[in-house]
């Protein structure tokens, strides 16, 4: 809680050292999700930033992106578009390969629910190196839709992900 009584969201983020492997300081959002006021404040603060911006839909990658993306979409009164790992989506889809530390991964979306000129807000829980969000952004752009902004609950500023997304708008609630 801050001096004016508003919730300090970083109080609800737990640092877990060496997860999922040695040297990674994992930002655990489960305490924030478990607290109704903190979870609500997170979604409210994201919505405050993007209300009135002509967003047509929120898109987010599984799995943790869904946890914030769906309530944010409802708060904004718009739809939600899931970006998924390979083999999960049943219908005609487009995909993008992106580099991981070791090897590559792939994300897919149903192209028919996007389309030219739709204004999409992208969301994820954590911005680390930016690789995941760059892939999501490029995937959405491939469909002809516009990316209004890339938003995050947490930004790990020292990893430089923001520079890979700018000059597009990048917004985060908590920065380390």
Distances (CA, A) of 58 to 19, 23, 131, 164: 29, 33, 19, 20
Q: Which residue has the tokens 């516009």?
A: 146
CB 53, CB 31: distance < 8 Å: no
CB of 5 to ligand AMP, least distance (A): 29
Interface with ligand AMP: number of residues (CB under 6 A): 17
Binding ligand AMP (rule: CB under 6 A), the pick from 125, 137, 155, 174 is: 125
Q: Is 64 in the site for ligand AMP (CB under 6 A)?
A: yes
Q: Spell out the residues 6+ positions from residue 15 whose beta carbon is closer than 8 angstroms to its own.
A: 25, 26, 27, 28
Binding ligand AMP (rule: CB under 6 A), the pick from 57, 96, 130, 147 is: 130
Q: Is 164 in the site for ligand AMP (CB under 6 A)?
A: no
Q: Which stretch binds ligand AMP (CB under 6 A): 39-47, 73-81, 129-137, 167-175?
A: 129-137
């Amino acid at each position: 809680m801050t001096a004016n009584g508003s919730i300090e969201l970083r109080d609800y983020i737990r640092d877990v050292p060496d997860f999922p492997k040695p040297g990674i300081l994992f930002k655990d959002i489960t305490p924030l999700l478990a607290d109704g006021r903190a979870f609500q404040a997170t979604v409210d603060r994201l919505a405050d930033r993007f209300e009135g911006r002509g967003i047509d839909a929120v898109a987010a990658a599984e799995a943790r992106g869904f946890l914030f993306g769906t309530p944010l979409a409802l708060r904004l009164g718009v739809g939600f578009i899931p970006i998924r790992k390979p083999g999960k989506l049943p219908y005609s889809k487009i995909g993008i390969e992106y580099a991981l530390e070791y090897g590559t991964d792939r994300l897919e979306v149903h192209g028919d629910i996007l389309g030219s000129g739709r204004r999409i807000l992208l969301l994820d829980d954590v911005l680390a190196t930016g690789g995941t969000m760059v892939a999501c952004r490029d995937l959405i752009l491939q469909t002809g839709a516009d990316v209004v902004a890339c938003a995050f609950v947490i930004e790990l500023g020292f990893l430089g992900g923001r520079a890979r997304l700018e000059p597009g708008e990048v917004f985060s609630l908590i920065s380390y």
